[in-house]
């Protein structure tokens, strides 16, 4: 990752944190987090933020833009583990397990908050409520993993794609980044394919099917969900329980 200058954002002024999705911080917590934040960094599209095996990467949060977290599998094929959206942590593994076993690459211009003014141990000791909220978030993340695992083993290509569309749309919506039934979707076909484990050719056919049935379409870097009910039925997508608030640093 090559650090590029970016307008420094003070934690107290962070607009992201104010979104209803995120758990409000007490004054003491904001002060602590502000001390923890040591840089605000810009990264250009297709640049790596972290590479597999890297040690000592500091804890970061993605502030703006899209990134992918990926690994290479059998035959060197890329598998995208998740899309990293604003508010998501980057390299939490590194801070506690010593090294990361995945790479993270910016897809769009990205801004990152870097936290190494205090360690996680200090955070856990000083702010147990915040720590608990972070722990909760991990459990929620695992819940999504579980859904994907089940879906992956019992569903077909359409189900995979439907889940990706719905889950991504909802995550953006929670962050105030969706608009009606449209949200930004700055992904190439190859990115989508590598996320759900399809070939780009078959993905193309699957996308065509959803478009033909007027369920969902990709136009010009945006995802349009025209028939959410039908899309949801394709994956047994659970009705939105009002999502609980996430922790954010």
d(CA 52, CA 71): 8
In terms of CB distance, is 48 or 99 closer to DNA? 48
Select from a copy of itself, DNA, none the partner in contact with residue 200, using the beta carbon and a kind-dependent cut-off of 5 to 8 Å. DNA
In terms of CB distance, is 52 or 227 closer to a copy of itself? 52
In terms of CB distance, is 32 or 163 closer to DNA? 163
d(CA 241, CA 223): 23
Select from DNA, a copy of itself, none the partner in contact with residue 208, using the beta carbon and a kind-dependent cut-off of 5 to 8 Å. DNA
Q: CB of residue 43 vs a copy of itself: minimum separation in angstroms?
A: 22
Interface contacts to a copy of itself, rule CB under 8 A: 71-75, 77, 79, 81, 92-93, 96-97, 101-102, 120-121, 124-125, 128-129, 131-132, 134-136, 138-143, 145-155, 159, 196-197, 235-236, 244
Select from a copy of itself, DNA, none the partner in contact with residue 190, using the beta carbon and a kind-dependent cut-off of 5 to 8 Å. DNA
Interface contacts to DNA, rule CB under 7 A: 156-158, 188-190, 197-205, 207-208
In terms of CB distance, is 12 or 132 closer to a copy of itself? 132
Select from DNA, a copy of itself, none the partner in contact with residue 232, using the beta carbon and a kind-dependent cut-off of 5 to 8 Å. none
Q: CB of residue 45 vs DNA: minimum separation in angstroms?
A: 10
Bridge partners of residue 182, in order along the sequence: 179, 224
Structure tokens at 175: 């962050």
């Amino acid at each position: 990752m090559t650090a590029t200058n970016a307008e420094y954002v003070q934690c107290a002024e962070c607009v992201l944190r104010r979104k209803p999705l995120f758990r409000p911080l007490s004054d003491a917590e904001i002060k602590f987090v502000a001390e923890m934040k040591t840089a605000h960094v810009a990264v250009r599209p297709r640049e790596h933020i972290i590479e597999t095996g890297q040690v000592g990467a500091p804890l970061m949060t993605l502030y703006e833009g899209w990134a992918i977290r990926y690994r290479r599998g059998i035959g060197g094929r890329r598998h995208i583990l998740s899309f990293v959206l604003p508010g998501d942590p980057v390299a939490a593994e590194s801070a506690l397990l010593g090294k990361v076993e995945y790479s993270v690459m910016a897809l769009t211009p990205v801004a990152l908050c870097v936290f190494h003014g205090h360690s996680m141990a200090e955070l856990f000791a000083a702010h147990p409520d915040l720590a608990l909220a972070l722990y909760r978030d991990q459990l929620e993340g695992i819940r999504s993993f579980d859904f994907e695992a089940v879906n992956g083993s019992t569903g077909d290509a359409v189900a995979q794609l439907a889940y990706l569309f719905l889950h991504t749309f909802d995550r953006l919506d929670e962050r105030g980044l969706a608009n009606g039934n449209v949200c930004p979707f700055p992904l190439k076909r190859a990115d989508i394919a590598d996320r759900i484990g399809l070939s780009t050719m078959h993905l193309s056919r699957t996308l065509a099917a959803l478009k033909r049935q007027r369920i969902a379409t990709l136009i010009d870097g945006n995802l349009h969900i025209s028939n959410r009910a039908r899309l949801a039925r394709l994956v047994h997508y659970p009705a939105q329980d009002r999502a609980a608030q996430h922790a954010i640093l």
